[in-house]
């Protein structure tokens, strides 16, 4: 997303419509997805990862991504992000008009083979091809291209992931043509000290301006602590999922993302500006409970409610 002039602004990238829905068995109706995305945008969410261009037989939950992108483009003021696993997915994303394309490169090659059936070398070749495709798009319509380093903090299949491997692949992604790289705690293994060290070193290697975002999971309850650690190292974009939905189907034991509602509350309470109306954000949960009944939603803030007078203070600060 374009840089904001507000130095106190933190971008919450809502990944629920993609990461959140890919890990549940139910298929959310397309019209419900549209209502959800529109409601999130109305609540002030500025970036939404609306889906993934993967074969429907692999993730039927996301088979309508092209239609969802087309709809989201009618909503002013939001950055439309999508995940692509390969060149064909990127072609479809560009054709649909996504504003941001992220390709996942798992630092754990075993996970990469299970997740996208590609080695590191094959993925980097795909990145080069996609980067060339992106450059062929007119400047006003050109999407940004992010390389997401999955399992950067550990892997449920391989276990420990060496820091030097993360840094080497971060450099390789930038050399292959990515505009930026992001660090992803796909398996929920990260701790705050590790987040600070790895983010600091990655920013040193690729340039601070080229590594500003993190994707965190709350598998072991450290999601918000890890988000705070990332902020202290200069992160300005943090992924989150409404209701804490999500997880990687190809990483055993990987559970949900950090809860958007809790993250937004923490940031606003600390004096950061997210641009999000917390009451409106929490009201979006009803779309989920109605359209995917029985799916468990998480979050402390929605259960406890906002502190007395907090909504008024937030409105006055806006």
Angle between helices 87-96 and 65-72 (to 10 degrees): 30
Q: How far is CA 299 from CA 79, 185, 252, in A?
A: 25, 19, 23
Task: Provide the angle, in degrees to the nearest 10, between the axes of the packed helices 65-72 and 30-42.
Answer: 30
Cβ 133 vs Cβ 94: under 8 Å: yes
Q: Which residue has the tokens 């203070």?
A: 313
211 is catalytic: no
Determine the angle formed by the axes of helices 120-135 and 87-96, rounding to 10 degrees: 30
From the candidates 178, 211, 248, 284, which is the catalytic residue?
248
Which helix (H) or strand (E) segment holds residue 310: the answer is helix 310-317
Structure tokens at 281: 């954000």
Residue carrying structure tokens 């929920």: 188
Residues in the chain: 318
What is the token pair recorded at 138? 């007119």
CA of 292: how far to CAs of 26, 61, 83, 242, 285, in Å?
7, 12, 22, 13, 11
Q: Are 143 and 188 in contact (CB under 8 A)?
A: no
List the catalytic residues: 248
């Amino acid at each position: 997303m374009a840089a904001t002039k507000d130095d106190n602004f933190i971008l919450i990238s809502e990944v629920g419509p993609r990461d959140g829905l890919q890990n549940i068995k139910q298929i959310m109706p397309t019209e419900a997805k549209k209502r959800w995305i529109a409601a999130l945008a109305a609540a002030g969410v500025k970036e939404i990862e609306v889906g993934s261009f993967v074969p429907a037989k692999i993730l039927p939950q996301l088979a309508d991504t092209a239609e969802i992108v087309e709809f989201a483009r009618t909503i002013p003021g939001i950055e439309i992000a999508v995940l692509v696993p390969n060149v064909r997915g990127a072609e479809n994303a560009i054709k649909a008009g996504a504003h941001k394309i992220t390709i996942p490169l798992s630092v754990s090659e075993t996970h990469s083979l299970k997740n996208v059936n590609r080695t590191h070398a094959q993925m980097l070749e795909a990145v080069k091809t996609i980067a060339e495709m992106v450059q062929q798009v007119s400047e006003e319509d050109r999407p940004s291209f992010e390389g997401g380093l999955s399992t950067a903090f550990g892997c449920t299949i391989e276990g420990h992931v060496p820091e030097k491997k993360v840094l080497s692949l971060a450099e390789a992604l930038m050399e292959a043509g990515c505009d930026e790289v992001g660090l992803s705690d796909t398996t929920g293994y990260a701790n705050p000290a590790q987040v600070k060290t790895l983010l600091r070193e990655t920013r040193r290697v690729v340039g601070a301006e080229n590594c500003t975002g993190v994707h965190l999971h709350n598998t072991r309850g450290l999601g918000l602590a890890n988000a705070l650690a990332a902020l202290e190292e200069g992160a300005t974009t943090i992924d989150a999922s409404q209701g804490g939905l999500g997880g990687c189907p190809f990483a055993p034991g990987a559970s949900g993302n950090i809860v958007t509602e809790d993250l937004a509350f923490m940031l606003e309470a600390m004096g950061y500006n997210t641009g999000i109306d917390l009451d409106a954000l929490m009201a979006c949960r009803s779309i989920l409970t109605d359209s995917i009944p029985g799916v468990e939603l998480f979050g402390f803030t929605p259960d406890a409610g906002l502190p007395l007078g907090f909504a008024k203070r937030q409105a006055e600060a806006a």
